[in-house]
A and B are shown apart, each in its own frame.
Chain A
Amino acid sequence: LSQLILRSQYSRYHILFQEILPSHFCVGEENWVDSRTIYIGHKEPPPGTEAFIQQRFPDNRIVSSKYTFWNFIPKNMFEQFRRVANFYFLIIFLVQLIIDTPTSPITSGLPLFFVITVTAIKQGYEDWLRHKADNAVNKCPVHVVQHGKVVRKQSRKLRVGDVVLVKEDESFPCDLILLSSSRDDGTCYVTTASLDGESSHKTYYAVQDTKAYNEEKEVDSIHATIECEQPQPDLYKFVGRISIYMDNEPVARPLGSENLLLRGATLKNTEYIFAVAIYTGMETKMALNYQSKSQKRSAVEKSMNAYLVVYLCILISKAVINTVLKYAWQADPNRDEPWYNERTEVERQRHLIRAFTDFLAFMVLFNYIIPVSMYVTVEMQKFLGSYFIMWDDEMFDEELGERAVVNTSDLNEELGQVEYVFTDKTGTLTENNMEFIECCVDGHVYVPHAICNGQVMPGAAGMDMIDTSPGPKAREHEELFFRALCLCHTVQVKEEETVDGIKHGIHQGKSTSFYISSSPDEVALVEGMKRLGFTYLRLKDSQMEILNREDEIERFELLEVLTFDSVRRRMSVIVRANTGELYLFCKGADSSIFPRVVSGKVDQIRARVEHNAVEGLRTLCVAYRPLSPEQYQEVCHLLSSAKLALQDRDKRLAEAYDLIEKDLILLGATAVEDRLQEKAADTIESLHKAGMKVWVLTGDKMETAAATCYASKLFRRNTQILELTTKRTEEQSLHDVLFDLSRTVLRQHGGMTRDTFSGLSGDCTDYGLIIDGATLSAVMRPGQEDSNSGNYKEIFLEICRNCSAVLCCRMAPLQKAQIVKLIKASKEHPITLAIGDGANDVSMILEAHVGIGIMGKEGRQAVRNSDYAIPKFKHLKKMLLVHGHYYYIRISELVQYFFYKNVCFIFPQFLYQFFCGFSQQPLYDTAYLTLYNISFTSLPILLYSLIEQHINMDILKKDPSLYRDIAKNSLLRWPSFIYWTVLGVYDAIVMFFGAYFLFDNTTFTSNGQMFGNWTFGTLVFTVLVFTVTFKLALDTHYWTWINHFVIWGSLIFFVVFSLLWGGIIWPFLNYQRMYYVFMQMLSSGPAWLSIILLITASLLPDVVKKVIWRALWPTTTERIQVGSHMYEIKELARQY
């Protein structure tokens, strides 16, 4: 791996270098280290060509495993102890081993060992699975052409330059350049489902000059070298060049991503292909994409760490106090070393380090206040808890057959803390299920019949003309428009070979076909055209076939495709008609077409487009340009030179496209509807009620986006819309607009403050802000000469803060992330959630605190990069309002309770030091010290944190405002932390001094015998275990049989364990201090009475506090709880 990194760094320097070097230096460009040279079939290039430097490439072994058999233990240990908590416990353990400490090393060693072992086993098992998977992949056979014959090889032995034969439905063993396929046109179909989840078939092209070599013998005769860039992780980018030596005359051809078959993709609908390996093993694009996402940490985790620091301080101060007091107390030599208790000689001599050792010993004695088990429990809670999301039936989508996916369980509770929701529009709020609504040619509007019975009507009968019928000139334009839409796309026709006999019969032997495309808009358009009479049949041998209204097949030769990209926002094709005329058809967003149009009925069409956009339809404009043969030659030249370029190919292609797509004649526009997802409006309304601010970030036009926002109730009728768009900033300066808006908002806000705080501010006018990408980048632009620019951000944030809904349109993917970052960094540090379905949402999904992917149609990239994935937008409601709420409640109780129970546990031990001469004498027995957190009190809280439901699920969904109750990490704020800590200290004092006064100089039994210090400790411990468990029982609002089982089971286990532990002389122990201690204690009446008394006294204040608070200052949650309770009782009463 380090080699890889080194190499890539090296190559990066080289790229830098090239840019600096003058161009004539680049003659020997084949020798660059940032590109690689591959000899197809390992054949040396003919002499006389450049002297190539033979490069070494890794073999085709995929290593996804982290460890080997030998380095597992050291490496895994190292990684585990890098975690602060584990390291802390290791230090404690080592201290216990080295110095003489009050508790045996087992007490901290055993839990640590347990935790480490469990983690190691889990990781080892996972790694073993990875090894197995790697082995399966590395050993699977591949077919390699050697000396004109096909040879089977293990996949891992594949080397760069090998020519590989891949058959249908096999997946590619490494990254390959397609040389030839069984199809004559040298194409092959591939699905990249396992790479990016797109199940559509993509077409890849063989190198033109080698596509004829489709037999192994012929392939073996290819003599060529490939130069290409060193591997990089971008799946969709590839630049290379192949030089084919025919008659010793090298012919250079460009290679692009359309020639590159990626490892992991599968060959479809093609019998076989020949291809040459260029990137192998860990250098394949798939392997380079393995890198893990950066870890996100939840707010709860942050407050947990803050608590840890506090407790660490408490721990250290306790140890310091005790050490100081110890030395003060020991100043009297008779106390230090009375005659009955002398030191050994060795102990006497260690004067200097003794104080330090004492300090460490106290640390060890109190170290349980920071429990190892909390980390384990939190991990388990998160891991197991996340299953409830996956299991949720309500978040299963029948239509897609998908259920919610949890990619990281670290953020479960963060779902309950969301303040800002950033959502994508297309595919997230809307279905991304496009339906062709209308088209407009030269101002005449055509609407296909809503009910399409499959019959193609000839003439205009298939459509409703809204305008008067057009003249002959218009009719010509109209047909050109339809043809343009039939030709200008990248849709594929998938022919379904129906094996099913009945189905076959229905279709009278005809194979059925449907359209596949990566863009649903295109499919909708082509289907819309079909309903208007022009059917796109197929692309065969560069001939596009169209069935026109007269049922005649028209053929167009496809010459060039100028593919779509999101910067240009348009695509074009160049075709040659039967008649020999050359056309360039271009379709794209209005903003990218209109500036390039020279003629056509621009105004009418623009009006229609704007009208449609307001309706919330997605519009595209279509234009064409007739090309003369000379112009076409020029175009070809431009394109091929750009395509041949090794560097900056994309940039040069974009420039070429820019030159070609001009002087267009506008034909018309289309409108496609993207329906709102079901319950999208309801969901947004709920999120609003739950106190979240919903922002829509979209690349769409303002009008379309705004319409969607109204439809989804993001904006309401009474919402006052504030615009911060290019249109406005053209009129006024950005500065003025911003200040204007902020003044409007703040004036209103100043008067509103009281109301908004008092709860639902239903009747006040709320604001909605619309901002577009260009203005946003102006706002965000850093460091202009005037210092005002810094303020822009602040003012913008101030405006946003007071708007209930914000719509950002015309956003580039990175801008989406920028917005999220901006809000994240604002002074309240709100918790953000980003939700989207497409690759363009990945950046914001990664940026936000919680990223949610929608399993939409635009591939799986968003899902793969998200923290959680849901099938539909509506599932967000349950995800946040129910699951998020529950997880937050659960984990906050878990964290608080864990600290509480350890305060209860350790504080008596601290108090005991005052009565044993600060000698670090532990109050409890070693077994109790060890097992307290591991087994006596661990399961109840774990189960609580998995299944607690303080309010019914349905109520949570019905009443979103409950979500506000837990906003801003309210259950883990310092006041509640202090409350729990004080409660813990109180309980500890009650327990310790209760036992102290009972033991104080009196007999405890009815036979006059006395108890010792271990009985004292056991009494405190018994009270402790019961108190702490009952405290949890009092907090539990949802008692299933599991809770009963675990809570009572834990207590029974404690009693049984204690009986057993003291019931036998354990031969492996070197002390028998606990022998019969527990039983003797239980045989004493006062012990029983005092246990009951102390438990009651410990629990009393918490119960009283809860009851009084609930009665006097109830939270919404508590009101609802009581309400629903009373309701149930009334219901019951009514039934009887």
Chain B
Amino acid sequence: MMASSYNAKEEDGHPSGASGHGGPGVVKSKKPDNTAFKQQRLPAWQPILTAGTVLPAFFVIGLIFIPIGIGLYVTSNNIKEFEIDYTGVNMDSPCYTCAKNFSWNNTTPCTCSVDFTLKQPFESNVFMYYGLSNFYQNHRRYVKSRDDSQLNGGRSLTDPSKECEPYRKNDELPIAPCGAIANSLFNDTLELFHIDSNGSRNAIPLVKKGIAWWTDKHVKFRNPGGNSNLTQAFLGTTKPVNWRKPVYELDPSDPENNGFINEDFIVWMRTAALPTFRKLYRIIQKKSSTTPTLPSGKYTLDIIYNYPVLSFDGRKRMILSTISWMGGKNPFLGIAYITVGSICFFLGVVLLIIHHKYDTRNNSADIPN
């Protein structure tokens, strides 16, 4: 009897284990592991953004950004840039006739020349760009209208991608290079002459090497069948509709710059991000350290006017620019840096006031807790 009552009492609290199963084994297996991760007690850094902690960061950002901004702004201002529009919209502009009388069927190219004056000499290397406005190189239909594997010398030379439509085939012959981008290759020829004091025109040597990305020229764009005989390689294809000559005659003088690896072509094939854009056309290298690359004075730009833009209200420009480590003239970056830096500095001051007025009050109220 003693035993019975003792046992009954003991079992009192354990009805779940009453059936005799369960046991300590089960209990153990159910107990969760006491690891820091499972108990959500991993050691952690617990930062809080308060006026006090953020203040220094604001001042530091302000102090770093403002000098950078000033530096950028000054650098940008030191860059010489000259831009001239040669579209020929107005009656008095030299290219007016060329622009007006443009026709795709013209066999004789129209030429015109524009005179301009550089007020300041361009000291370092000068980069010559052509600029187009209102030209939607970033239109989707346009952007995708190319065949990268054809341009890479791949098998689709004679069977271009469907994306090239409607510039894929002409008279049942595959177009090489196919697509709208290639078809609309910028084909004005620009030449620059310096008019010296006695009125004679000196042609300024324009370098066409190094205007395209190195990787584009050497990896992404490849001629079919190597560079051996381009005429042979492009057999069975036809030139883009708007081109005057086939792709293997783009630069017959230099086999390294002919066919798909023609740099002008590669530059054009990198579609611009915005409808107003410029593309690198030529480089004018500095000859000696003593004379400026382009001394101030009178210049003439000779244009072989092949490229119509008036139909879509476009503009064509020629830009001469020097380049610094931060690229061409762009005051925006400097101004933006100065603005953001000053805002940070100003906010730092505001936060300092707030911090003094409020944070201390809150803290002193809470710390006794």
Q: Which residues of A come within 8 Å of B, CB atoms?
A: 102, 191, 193, 199-201, 268, 334-335, 338-345, 387-388, 390-393, 396, 398-403, 433, 452, 454-456, 494, 496, 506-508, 510, 512-516, 520, 523, 527, 530-531, 535, 547, 857, 886, 915-917, 919-922, 947, 949, 952-953, 994, 996-1013, 1015-1017, 1034, 1037-1043, 1065, 1069-1073, 1075-1076, 1080, 1084-1086, 1089-1090, 1093, 1096-1097, 1100, 1103-1104, 1106-1108, 1110-1112, 1114, 1119-1123, 1125-1127, 1130
Contacts and interface: CB of A to CB of B under 8 A. Distances in A.
A199 B16 contact: yes
Contact of A917 (B275, B327, B332): B275
Contact of A340 (B6, B40, B183): B183
A1015 B273 CA distance: 8
A1080 B351 contact: no
Given A1012-B273, A1107-B351, A496 B1 contact: no
A387 B311 CA distance: 67
Given A1039-B44, A1084-B327, A1130-B367, A1013 B312 contact: no
A200 B19 contact: yes
A1122 B131 contact: no
Which of B31, B32, B180 has most chain A Cβ within 10 Å?
A: B32
A525 to B, nearest CB: 13
A1013 B138 contact: yes
A512 B272 contact: no
Contact of B143 (A388, A921, A1108): A921
A340 B21 CA distance: 85
Contacts of B183: 340
A163 to B, nearest CB: 28
B271 A340 contact: no
Q: Which 7 A-B pairs have the closest CB atoms?
A: A401-B27, A1003-B328, A340-B184, A1016-B273, A1123-B366, A391-B38, A1008-B127
A486 to B, nearest CB: 14
Nearest to B2: A454
A335 B351 CA distance: 51
Interface in B309-349: 311-313, 321, 323-330, 332-333, 336-337, 340, 343-344, 347
Contacts of A1039: 44-47
Contacts of A399: 13
Contacts of B245: none
B340 A1123 contact: no
B138 A1006 contact: no
B201 interface: no
Interface in B131-148: 131, 135-148
A399 B65 CA distance: 63
Contacts of B72: 1089
B8 A403 contact: no
Contact of A391 (B1, B33, B220, B275): B33
A998 B358 contact: no
A140 B5 CA distance: 42
Nearest to A335: B312
B52 to A, nearest CB: 9
A921 B280 contact: no
Contacts of B165: 344
Nearest to A882: B40
A915 B275 contact: yes
B227 interface: no
Contact of A1089 (B68, B272, B329): B68
B173 interface: no
A436 B132 CA distance: 99
Contacts of A507: 3
Given A1114-B362, A1130-B367, A1001 B211 contact: no
24 contacts: A343-B141, A392-B32, A393-B34, A402-B30, A403-B31, A506-B3, A514-B4, A523-B12, A527-B8, A547-B1, A916-B136, A952-B46, A1006-B325, A1009-B213, A1037-B48, A1039-B47, A1043-B44, A1090-B333, A1100-B343, A1112-B358, A1119-B366, A1122-B362, A1123-B363, A1123-B369
A651 B243 CA distance: 99
Contact of B139 (A341, A922, A1111): A341
Contact of B166 (A342, A393, A1071, A1110): A342
Contact of A102 (B33, B140, B308, B362): B140
Interface string B223-257: 00000000000000000001000000000000000
B91 interface: no
B40 A949 contact: yes
Nearest to B131: A1001
B261 interface: no
Interface of B: 1-9, 11-13, 15-16, 18-22, 26-27, 30-34, 38-51, 54, 61, 65, 68, 72, 125, 127, 129, 131, 135-149, 152, 161, 163, 165-167, 180, 183-184, 210-213, 215-216, 219-220, 242, 267, 270-280, 283, 308, 311-313, 321, 323-330, 332-333, 336-337, 340, 343-344, 347, 351, 354-355, 358-359, 362-363, 366-367, 369
Given A1010-B267, A1012-B272, A1100-B343, A1072 B220 contact: yes
Contacts of A513: 4, 7-8
Contact of A401 (B22, B131, B145, B273): B22
A507 B44 CA distance: 57
A21 B2 CA distance: 63
B5 to A, nearest CB: 5
A1008 B3 CA distance: 100
B210 A1007 contact: yes
A921 B44 contact: no
Contacts of B363: 1122-1123, 1126
Contact of A921 (B1, B139, B347): B139
Nearest to A507: B3
A964 to B, nearest CB: 17
Contacts of A1089: 68, 72, 326, 333, 337
Contacts of A400: 16
B138 A915 contact: yes
B325 A191 contact: no
B316 to A, nearest CB: 13
Contacts of B166: 342-345
A403 B333 CA distance: 60
Given A391-B33, A1010-B278, A1076-B215, A338 B136 contact: yes
Contact of A916 (B5, B45, B138): B138
B44 A1040 contact: yes
B272 A1013 contact: yes
A1022 to B, nearest CB: 15
A332 B79 CA distance: 39
A1086 B61 contact: no
Given A512-B4, A1039-B44, A999 B274 contact: yes
Contacts of B129: 1003, 1010
A390 B38 CA distance: 9
Nearest to A1113: B358
B84 to A, nearest CB: 14
B42 to A, nearest CB: 4
Contacts of A1016: 273-274
B273 A1011 contact: yes
Which of B26, B30, B40, B165 has most chain A Cβ within 10 Å?
A: B40
B39 A393 contact: yes
A213 B145 CA distance: 91
A1008 B347 CA distance: 38
Contacts of A953: 40-41
A997 B332 contact: yes
B143 A1000 contact: no
Given A520-B15, A919-B141, A1125-B50, 11 more contacts: A340-B142, A341-B145, A921-B138, A1000-B330, A1003-B127, A1008-B283, A1012-B272, A1070-B161, A1080-B215, A1086-B330, A1111-B358
Contact of A454 (B6, B152, B184, B280): B6
Contacts of A1006: 323-327
B5 A452 contact: yes
